Amino acid sequence: QVQLQESGPRLLKPSGTLSLTCAVSGASISSSNWWSWVRQPPGKGLEWIGEIYHDGSTNYNPSLESRVTMSVDKSKNQFSLKLTSLTATDTAVYYCARDVSSDQQLATWGQGILVTVSS
């Protein structure tokens, strides 16, 4: 059974940088899947941040593209999200997710991590 687990700091200051990691178990990060990040501000809807393939190819949401970097660490079987120049509007639950196939998009999700941006 594939499991995803987000980790990282939960309280950050404005203008700071968010760095989150998604540890993958039960599957290889090098399998033929896209690995995604999605966020959800408290009480609001879902926003797709972007996705990364094991070869490092990425697709980012243009609304965040100037501040987002995703990477893959094959040796640790994990992938990461970096978001710079934080403001309070970046406060959200951040989820990592996996496409099971090109058809079954975002079929597996992590439990999510609440990141709060506040001075």
Partner 1 sequence: DVVLTQSPLSLPVTLGQPASISCRSSQSLVYNNGYTYLNWFQQRPGQSPRLLIYKVFNRDSGVPDRFSGSGSGTDFTLKISRVEAEDVGVYYCMQGLHWPYTFGQGTKLEIK
Q: Are residues 113 and 105 in contact, defined by beta-carbon separation less than 8 angstroms?
A: no
Q: Are residues 92 and 38 in contact, defined by beta-carbon separation less than 8 angstroms?
A: no
Binding-site member from 25, 30, 46, 73 for partner 1 (CB under 8 A): 46
The interface mask with partner 1, positions 59-78, x = CB under 8 A, is xxxxx---------------
Nearest distance, CB of residue 119 and partner 1, angstroms: 28
Give the residue among 38, 61, 30 at the shortest CA–CA distance from 107: 38
Q: Which amino acid is at 61?
A: N
Q: Counting contacts by CB under 8 A, is residue 94 touching partner 1?
A: no
| Nearer residue to partner 1 within complex by CB, 63 or 118 | 63
